[in-house]
Amino acid sequence: MAASAPGTAPYFTMAWMLKKNGLSPKDVKVVNLEPQAAANAMIAGTDGIDAAMTYEPYLSAVRAKPEAGKIIATTLDYPMVMDTFGCTPKFLSENPKAAKALADSYFEAVDMIKRDPKKSFEIMGADVKQSAEQFEASQKFLRWQDREANAKFFAGEHAAFSKEAADLLLEVGIIKQRPDMSKLADTRFLK
């Protein structure tokens, strides 16, 4: 199975999906390839690659060539990956206005996706070397979380998810001890 190196989001996703199905990374031979290379190897039928962990926009390339392989699960089936941004505690302490502006900018972008999807897809597509139309097609498999959804997530689901994720990371040897869960998120900038 092609997947990025341990400690990366694709590796974690692989470990998460395997665990949810009674397996672990020890049950597969992992070949370290980054998401684009993993998708390309799958599409090309590279010898020794029977499965791959990738994400959008590369997942859409696999989707477009079903004869090369089938997508059997995504994070829509196993909701556990979130794109996040983080700042060090020191930065947050010294730059609260900048941290608030960063959070607000994200939510402005989510609002723009709702308000002007064509322009949004053009901007985001350009960043990943896709046309607006290509990005629009691949983004259908993503969930854009607004301020209210983030507040709900951090009010309840985050703690349970973080505990389960830490347990998995301990099990597969990515971390040596569980972090202080109370310090994983600083939600004051969501308001």
Q: What is the pLDDT of residue 158?
A: 87
pLDDT of residue 81: 66
Residue range 113-146, pLDDT digits in tens: 999 999 999 999 999 888 999 999 888 888 888 9
- Would you mind telling me the total number of residues written for the chain in this entry? 191
The one-character DSSP state at 41 is H
**pLDDT band at 171; cut points 50, 70, 90:** very high
How far apart are alpha carbons 128 and 38 in whole angstroms?
16
| Boundaries of every domain in the chain | 2-68, 89-189
Concatenating the DSSP letter of every residue in 9-32 gives HHHHHHHHHHHHTT--GGGS--EE
Determine the Cα–Cα distance for residues 162 and 179; give it in Å rounded to an integer: 10
**CB 121: neighbour CB atoms within 10 A?**
21
For residue range 42-97, list pLDDT tens digits in order. 999 999 899 999 988 888 888 888 898 888 888 778 777 666 778 899 999 999 99
